[in-house]
Structure 1
C-alpha cells in the first residue's frame, strides 16, 4: 500500500497546512466508545493509515507502523487547550491525522479537536470524516453498528481524474496567467508587528484565531440580500474583505488587490467525487480587482462573483489545477491580498440522545509563517453550520497582532450586518 503524491499534492507537503475541526458538546461522552469509533472509521480510510515519506524528487504515501496509527487522545482543559492543539503540528513522517478529546473539568462539556493533513484532505472530506466518527459513535452507543468491509486501496490523486489535455495548451494557459498577473501585481497588507519572536516579554508567538459568528437571523437576512442583489454570499464576503484590506493600505486612490478563492472540484468532475474520499480536491483561483476606499461594495461583489462564474464557464478551474505545480516557479499565481474560502451550508455531526452539539468549527492552519516578509494575504475561512455563518481569521501573532485582527474582524462583521439589514 504505497502511492506517489502528484505534483499538486507535493505542494501541500512543503506548506505543512492542515484542516482543524472542532465541535463542542454538552452532555455525557464515553471516551472509550469514542476511541473505538475513531479507530473504526480510521481503519476504513487507508489514507489515514499512511505517512508521508521521501520518494525520488517528491514524496509518497507509505504505511504507518501499527504502533504509530492514530488513536484518540484524552486531556482536560478549556479554550486554551483548544489553542494548544491548534498549534500542534502534524510532522512529515508521522500520522496524517490527530484526534483529541478535551474534557472541561467539573462539567459535562467536551471539545473534540480533529486535525488532518491538507495533503489528504480538503474542507468537504474533513467535515465528512468528523461526521463519520460521530455517526459511528452514535451507532455504538445505540447498539446499531454494523460491520463494514475493510478498504485497502488508496484513493488516487484528484489530478488523475481530470479530463485529458494537450500539454502545449496547458503551457500556453500558464504563460497567459503569468503574463496577466504580472501586468497587475497585487498589493499586500503590511504586518503591524515586528519579527522579535515575542509579542510580550516571556510570551512566544503562536497561531491564533479571531472568529466572527452571525446568528441564524442575521445569516438568513444576509442570504436574502445576496439573492436580491443577484450575487452569492461568497461574493459579498469577498467584496467586504477586499474593502477592509484596502483601508489598511497606505495612500489614496485605487489599488489593484487580489482575491484568492479555492474552487471545489469534487462536484465538477464526472463522475463526482464523494465527499468522504480522503483527497485534496480543490484548486486555487486568483482574480485581480481595482479597489478604492470608496468602491461600491455591491458592484465589487458583482465583479468578484462574475469572475468566478466566468472561470467555471470557460472550464478554467480544470486548467488552474493543471498549472498548480508551477506555483513554486511563479508564486504570484496564488498570491492574493485576501484568501476567502467558503464551504457553503454544511451539516454538522449527529449525536446520540442526551448529548447536545453546541458549536462546530473548521479552521485552516499551517506551520510556516514568515514575519520577515513584512506583509502577506489575510485569510477568511467561511462556513455555515446549523444556519449560522461563521468566518474564522487564523493569523500568526508575529505577523498580525491581536488588536489588529480583532479590529479587522469587527469591521467585517459591521459591514456584513449592514448588508443584512
Structure 2
C-alpha cells in the first residue's frame, strides 16, 4: 500500500535530513510500557512505518510489513556517547521513516530516549508533538494499566500532502512570484561563512552539536526586551546570528541572507493539527546589507518587519508553491544563517517517579560538502518549559568544534546584551 509524495515532500528525499528529538530522563522506567506506547503511536501514523520507494517519475511512501516496522530498541550504555551515535546514524535507505532508541545508564535511573524521523514526513512542530504523544501514551499505560486498543491500529490514515491543502492558486500570480524571487536572489548574492577546517581529508567528519542555553530568568528578560522593542524573540535571535556571522566576514558592506522557516498549519484548509505527520512548513529568505559593525537591535527590527509583512500576506503559500523549483535553483533558499524557531512548546507529561531533565530538538542530515569551502550556519531554536536553547549542528570536516564554540559564544554575548537591556517586570497586583 502506497501514498505518492507531492512535489514539496519530494524535495526532502534527496536531502536525507531528519529531526532528532531526545529526552533525558531520571527515575523509574517501564520498558514494556514504553515499547507499547511507541508501537501504538506508529500504528496510528502509517508514515512512520513506511519506506520511500520510486513511484513513476517521483516517489511514494510504501507501508512496511509487520516484521520490518520500527520497534523501540533498548540497550545499556553511556547516554552522552549514545546521543552522539544516534546523531551520526542515518535512517537506513529503504527502511522505516522513524527510529526510537532508549539507552539506560549501567547503574542508577538515568535514561536517554532518542526519536529520529525523516523530514519527508515531519517538521519541527509535528516532531515535538510526536515526542509528547509517545510519552502521553506511556503515562496512560503506567498510571492506568490500560493497553492500547489495537483493533483498528493498522487502518491506513495517510495524511494529505500539504500542497493539496493550500487555497486555490492563481498560476499567473505564482509565476510572477517566482520571477520576483529569481530576480531578487540574482541582485543579492549572499556571503557565506567560510569553513575553518583547512584540510578536511585529515579530519574524521561527524555531526556534532554546539549548544547555547538560557535559564528561565534570562529567557524571560529576553522576552521583555522583545516586547519593549516591538519585535519577536525570533528577530532577536536572528539578529544575534547575523551580527555574529558578520564578524567572520571581511570588513566593508556585506550582503547576508537570513532564512526563517514559517509554519503553515493554521493557514491550510482545513487547518492541520501538529500531530499530523507532514512537513507543513515553508521559508522566508531576506537579504540584509550589513556594515562591518552593525547594531544588533537595528538588525532585529529589520528582520521582524520583513518577516511580519511576509507572513501577513500570501507569501507563505506562494513560497510553498515554488518549492519544487529549489533543486533547479538552490539560491532560492541560500542564506548565510538558517534560524529555525519552534517558539515556546511544552515538554512531555510523565508519570510520578519519572522526570525529564533535558529535552532537545536537533536537525541532522547525511550529506555535507567540505570541498565547497563555506555554507549556511544552522541554528535550531526552541523553548522547552520556558527555557530557550539554540542548537548549532555542524560537520567537523567543515566547521571545527572550536570554531562553532566561538560562534555560539558570540551569539550568546549578543543575546546577553539584549537580556540585560530588559525593562523591569510589571508589578503584580
TM-score (norm 1): 0.97
Find the counterpart in structure 2 of residue 81 from structure 1. Answer: 82
Per-residue CA distance 1:255-288 (angstroms, 9 max, x = gap): 0100000000002223321001000000111110
Partner of 2:397: 398
Q: Corresponding residue for 1:290?
A: 289
Deviation at 1:147, TM superposition (A): 2.9
Q: 2:149 aligns with which of 147, 150, 154?
A: 147
State the SS of the aligned residue for 1:362: strand
Aligned: 1:166 with 2:185: no
Range 145-154 or range 168-177, more displaced? 145-154
Instruction: Supply the distance in 1 between the matched residues of 2:11 and 2:269 (Cα, whole angstroms).
Output: 25
CA distance in 2, matches of 1:415, 1:170: 38
- Give the drift of 1:324: 0.4
| Aligned match of 2:61 | 61
Query: CA-to-partner distance for each residue in 1:314-372, whole Å, 9 max, x for gaps?
Result: 21110000000000111100000000000000001011101111110000000000001
- Contact 2:338–2:377 (CA<8 Å) still a contact in 1? yes
Give the structure 2 partner of residue 309 of structure 1: 308
- Name the CA distance, whole Å, in 2 between partners of 1:194 and 1:72: 41
* Equivalent-residue separation in structure 1 for 2:229 and 2:171 (angstroms): 40
**1:33-76 superposed Cα distances (whole Å, 9 cap, x missing partner):** 11111111110111112110011221101111221100000122
The C-alpha deviation readout for 1:212-251, integer Å capped at 9, x for no partner, is: 010000000000000000000000111110110010012x
Aligned to 1:235: 235
In 2, the alpha carbon distance for the partners of 1:374 and 1:8 equals: 28
User: How far 1:171 sits from its partner (Å)?
Assistant: 1.6
Task: Supply the distance in 1 between the matched residues of 2:41 and 2:236 (Cα, whole angstroms).
Answer: 37
Shift of 1:415: 1.2
1:197 corresponds in structure 2 to: 201
8 A Cα contact 2:165 2:270, kept in partner: no
Residue equivalent to 1:185: 189
Residue 297 of structure 1 and its aligned partner are, at CA, apart by 1.0
Deviation by residue 1:2-46 (Cα, 9 ceiling, x = unmatched) = 111111111100000100000001101111211111111110111
Count of aligned pairs: 416
SS at structure 1 position matched to 2:41? helix
State the secondary structure of the residue aligned to 2:200.
Answer: coil
Aligned to 2:94: 93
Q: How far apart are the structure 1 equivalents of 2:120 and 2:269?
A: 22
Change beyond 3 A, Cα 1:293–1:107: farther
- Which residue of structure 2 aligns with residue 381 of structure 1? 380
- Residue in structure 2 matched with residue 133 of structure 1 by the alignment: 134
Q: CA deviation at 1:163?
A: 0.8
Q: 1: CA distance between counterparts of 2:119 and 2:64?
A: 17
Contact 1:7 1:325 in 2 (8 A): yes
Report the Cα offset of residue 115 of structure 1.
0.1
How far apart are the structure 2 equivalents of 1:80 and 1:144?
33
Distance 1:350 1:161 in 2: 31
**Structure 1 unmatched runs, 5+:** none
What is the distance in 1 between the residues matched to 2:199 and 2:351?
48
Matched residue SS, 1:194: coil
- Residues in 1 aligned to 2:200 and 2:213: alpha-carbon distance in whole angstroms: 32
Contact 1:73 1:99 in 2 (8 A): yes
- Contact 1:53-1:92 within 8 A present in 2 as well: no
Is 1:225 aligned with 2:225? yes
**363-372 vs 72-81, which moves further:** 72-81
Q: How far did residue 144 of structure 1 move? A: 5.4
Aligned residue for 2:353, secondary structure, equals coil
The farther-off stretch of 164-173 and 344-353 is: 164-173
> Superposition pairs for residues 318-337 of structure 1, below 5 Å?
318-337=317-336
Aligned to 1:254: 253
Distance of aligned partners of 1:416 and 1:174 in 2 relative to their CA distance in 1, 3 Å threshold = same
Determine whether 1:413 maps to 2:417: no
Name the SS for the 1:332 alignment partner. Answer: helix
Q: CA RMSD in A?
A: 1.2
| Aligned-residue offset at 1:186 | 0.4
State the shift of 1:104 in Å: 1.3
Scaled by the length of structure 2, the TM-score of the pair is: 0.95
Alpha carbons 1:195, 1:372 under 8 Å: kept = no
